[in-house]
Structures are given as structure tokens and as C-alpha cells.
Structure 1
């Protein structure tokens, strides 16, 4: 069997559903031009030849056992034994999308409402509003129909939305690898711990705002923020859930960076660090006031690879709008969380509306406004929608441009 590692962060043990029976042990799915097998919470996966994927589809429909070649691969990659189990119970085998347009990744801002009030938040306004539950479930079905496989649920704070459990279950049933971005304040609640044990996510990413209650509560402007986050992380790790901490570095907590790293180490969870703050996606400069000196690293604005569409330059390398998109609380689809021009109203237009999204994304990647006429176009790797909100916020050039203070021609 031809196998290969799929690059995903984190590696944790698999939880099972009530009664000891796992909902499914792994997911098999098309992903753009590939066929892959992955396991929530694990960094390793398998790349499958088309014939092997077709065999799993057939066995899934017929209720036949997992084939020996997959049993061997699962044992090597995830140290689990699927021998004798049926494909339709051990695996979630996703059929190829028949939609006119397909995407492999999406993020969903289930609600902008939040129980924290962080100064550095990129959401200028955080109203608690959005789709009714039937439309939220319809939205998840549409995402599955266009092939979304890697799925991030964010907010606001997603875990305070009363519809979160139903939305999460629908996405899990569809065989999505789910990542949740949360402040962790609700993560210790028994019904959520049970939900994630019964239907394991791929990753739960919790923001860490300080190493002490005083610092975290001051940064989030919320009493009890640190205590609730800490309790949530401890409950999740005790339940064997795949938790990752993101250390958020601002001027309010920069003196506790080492202490935050030590706290993450004591909780025995993987970490990332985020110290480059941006304006709100509407261009309001407020969050920039929380920027910590010494952590201004504009490299996070850069695209991963050079583009190939002439005058548009390297900006065209970004896959947003082409293989990936974002959906806001009202079902408006945009190229990403930042580039929100000309949204596609999925609830009104359906998935056919996504046929327009690549062109909308390309238009937002063009050099306009403060970047018009720049003589350094051919080497620029800065994300254009992010550069635009920095320009609208009247931020210093060095805070978002890879060329520092050099003046465009």
C-alpha cells in the first residue's frame, strides 16, 4: 500500500463513545486530487491510491470487513486494531462531491458573541446573533456537499452558542476533521466534555492570555477568565481530548511570556505563540494598541509561495477563495476571515453561489490603495487583504510591509 504522512499538528489518544463503542476510528475522504485516511487528534495519515479508495467505498456500502491492507496501515499509523471490524462502523468513508464547485477547507464563525472583551480582538463588534439552528444545520450540509474536510469552528466564543453541540455533531457525522478555537472558559462543562469524548475533534485550540488571574483577567477584561480557562484545559486533558494552547502575547502580559510557557508545559499540551496583532477586519486600529514591542513579526502576513498571474504578483499564491473559504454567523461566505468583500449569501444562493468566490478572491488580492504602483511588486509576499486593513488603520508601514519603511514608487 502506498502511504504517506499528512502534515497535521498534535497527536493524542483516541476517545470512544458511550458504552465503549467509537463513533468511527478514522476518516477516509477525497481531498482535492488525493484520497486520504486520517484519524482525529493524530498527526499521521495515509495517502490512498484511487483503486483502494474505491474498494473502501464498495465495502462501506456492502457492510464488508475492513480490508487487510487498511488494517495493516492503521496499525502502523495509529496503533489500533481494526481486524474483523466492518468498514461502515470502523470508518467514515466520504463519497466524492458531485457539486459544480469543491473546497477542502472552511472556517465557520458560528457567532461573534463572546463572554470575554479582549482589547486585541480582531472583531470590532461582537453581537450575539446569527442563523437559527435549522439553517445552521443546513449550512453544515452544504459544506459537506462541496467536499469540506478540514473544518474550523470559531467565534466570538463558539462554546457559548446554544446551538454549538448540534452543529458540531452534524459536522462530525459528515466526517469532518474539526478544529475548535475557544477561550476555554466553558470547556470544563460536563456536557461538552462528554460530547468531545463521544465524537472526538481533531484539535481544541485554547487561547492563553496570562500566567496569572490578575494578568489574564485584565487583558480579557473579564473576571474569572484565567480560572475558568485553566479549569477547562485541565478537564479536557483529563478526558484525553486533543488540546493545544496558543500563547497570545500583548503589552499587558509580555512580562509573563516565560511563565506562560512554563504553565503550558505543566499542563503537558502542545503550544504555539502569537504576538503579531492586527487591526480589526474592518480596519479599526484599536487592537494595535495592545501590540507588545519586540513581537512585531510581519512574516505572518506573507503568502506561502510566489504567484503566477503576472501583474497581480505573489498575492495570487494564496488559496483563499479557491480551496478554502470562511462563513460568518449569517451564512455569508468570503475568501477568508479578513477579506470579506462581496460575500456570497449561501442561505439565499446555495452552493452554486460559491462558483463566484474564486473571482471575488482574486479581485481582493489585486494591488490597490496604498500598494498601487509599488515598484517592489515582483518580490512582495504580503497578504493583500491584511495589508489593506493595516493601511485603513493608518498603521506604520514597517508593521505590515515586508519591505519595511521603503517607500513605494
Structure 2
């Protein structure tokens, strides 16, 4: 797969492979001009062999996807496919978790819109993404459009045969799972879901057996802070890389109730915010196709379903107008938020 990416051009083995090759614009244009019966150029044979040990021995059209340039300049996006979840964590930033959103035609339209905006890396999240009834179809469609898909999940459905078969056919670029406890008592107190710890461990076993690219996020709250070391040990036992998150965020509706769940003795200082790429090269989309500059900053927003791609520059304009006016940025420093 050849794709523009910001000011570069990348050659990628397939949407689930972690490595790629940067190529000059002239070679991207050469691939873009090829027809189905054209032989692969010598340099492409060399690049595939050196990067991935791959021999190109079929007509190029059977293997090559060339993504078109986009005048919008986006590279990454995140998408809440549905806010519904099988867990009921008190500190969840989503607040009320409703099972609602776009129908299948709307999901397809949204994914094509994100592709046309230039999105190469896509994070599918929720709620719990894997329990959306159209997750599998949407995930496969994103792969067909040439997106590198990262899935964020609680891992409760990873043990299920349809999910394992899906990820065997189309490997995720990354699979990020949250860890809420190291024992059944604590984990199920956090998730308020009986049997959830056992299902989580079964999911980890399945992911390790299938060789999936898992990263674990250890979520620390007042409910599980006493098991931080044990949660880290669990991550290390499985051999998956991990990060520890100790600071909570308010809900997307601005309610502060998750902050009461923070484990104050484990909170870490936050660096002072100096700006980011939100709305400029990245955007976030909710289950209804409403795009905002990020998961936290959801106002203003644009409707990608009814307004289409031409609405996206308004998000970039918000970023550009902020400049160095810090009062227009997210505000936090030290331990505050």
C-alpha cells in the first residue's frame, strides 16, 4: 500500500503491519500511474524484500493499493463507534453510555469521508468497540480503505471466536486494552460486572496465543490503587508493554464526578499544556458522525454526515486562530486539571 502521510509518502506492507518505508513523491506518482498489468518496478521489489522479506510474484494489481492525496491534510482520527459498554465503571469519562449511533450505511459513509480527509491511522474506540454489532464489518471496511486501525477495548470479547477470526484475517495495527485490577474482587468492583475479570484474562490469553500487538493501560483509581504493583506485574507476566494512568478526566458533558475516583497518592504531575495537533492533523468523531478537535474538546463541532468534508476546515481554523493565546487551549498544570 502506498499512501500520502502529511508531507511524506509511505509504502506499507498491509494495514496491520507495524513498519513502513518512506518513499519520495516521484515514486508515489509512479505507483499511482501503474495499470493492473504493469510489472512492479525494480525499486519496489527491492524495497519489499529489504523491509519485509517479501517477493513480489503476482500482477501488481492483485497486491497494490494506492491511496489518493487529500487536500485536507489530516493524518489521524479517532472514532467512537458506539458509546455502549458492557462495563459500568464509575470513573468513565463518557458519563451516560447509550447504545446508539449511525446505521451501517452511515458508518460506511463516515469511513469513506475520513479516508478522503487523508486519515491513514484510525483508532476505533467506544464505549466498548468490540460489542458493537457492526464492529467487524466496519473494521474490515476500514482495512479495505487502507487505514491502519488501532482498536481500544476492555478485552472482554477478545476470547470470542468471531473476534479472533476477524483479527486473524485482518491484523490490527495496535490493540490497546485497559487493566482495572489484578484480582477478581477488585476488577469486578471497578467494572461492576460479575465475571468480568475471568473474561478479561481469557481475552489476554487469546491475544497472546494469537500474537496480537497488545498494549495495556493500567487505569488507577481509588478502587484499585492498592493493586497497582500487582497490575503492573500482571502486564509483565503476559509480556505486553504497558503504561500507568493515574489522573482522571471530567466527563465529556463537563460533569466532574470521575475526579472523585482519583487515587490522590498516586496522581502524577502534568506538564503545562503548550498546544497539540487537535483539529489540525487529527480529529475525533462520535457515534453520530459529529467531528470535534479531540475527545475532550467537543465544542465546536461539525457534522460529517450532513455537511461532509467541506466542514472539516472549520476545525483547522479553530486551531489556527488559537495561535499562542493560551486561554483558548486546554488548561492544566501541576496536579490540577
Query: Would you say same fold, with TM above 0.5?
Result: yes
- Partner SS, residue 352 of structure 1: helix
Q: How far did 1:157 drift?
A: 0.6
Q: How far did 1:42 drift?
A: 4.6
Distance of 1:65 and 1:73 partners within structure 2? 15
For 1:220-369, list aligned pairs within 5 A: 220-299=191-270, 302-303=272-273, 314-315=274-275, 318-362=276-320
Q: How far did 1:386 drift?
A: 5.5
Residue in structure 1 matched with residue 335 of structure 2 by the alignment: 399
Q: How far did 1:208 drift?
A: 0.9
Distance of 2:115 and 2:269 partners within structure 1? 34
How many aligned positions are there? 336
Unaligned runs of 5+ in 2: none
Residue in structure 2 matched with residue 23 of structure 1 by the alignment: none
With a CA cutoff of 8 Å and minimum separation of 6, indicate the structure with the bigger relative contact order. Answer: 2
Residue in structure 1 matched with residue 141 of structure 2 by the alignment: 170
Query: Could you tell me which of 14, 21, 26 is aligned with 1:46?
Result: 21
Q: How far did 1:367 drift?
A: 5.8
- Partner SS, residue 180 of structure 1: strand
- Partner SS, residue 281 of structure 1: coil
Query: Could you tell me which of 85, 108, 115 is aligned with 1:137?
Result: 108
Distance of 1:345 and 1:109 partners within structure 2? 14
Query: Could you tell me which of 44, 65, 70 is aligned with 1:92?
Result: 65
- Partner SS, residue 279 of structure 2: coil
- Partner SS, residue 297 of structure 1: coil
Q: Is the contact between residue 152 and residue 181 of structure 1 (CA under 8 Å) also seen in structure 2?
A: yes
- Of 288-297 and 64-73, deviating more is 64-73
CA RMSD across the alignment: 2.2
Q: How far did 1:54 drift?
A: 1.7
Unaligned runs of 5+ in 1: 1-26, 304-313, 372-382, 388-396, 402-409
TM-score of the superposition, structure 2-length normalised?
0.92
Q: Is the contact between residue 56 and residue 87 of structure 1 (CA under 8 Å) also seen in structure 2?
A: no
Distance of 1:208 and 1:63 partners within structure 2? 49
Residue in structure 2 matched with residue 197 of structure 1 by the alignment: 168
TM-score of the superposition, structure 1-length normalised?
0.76
1:207 and 2:181 equivalent? no
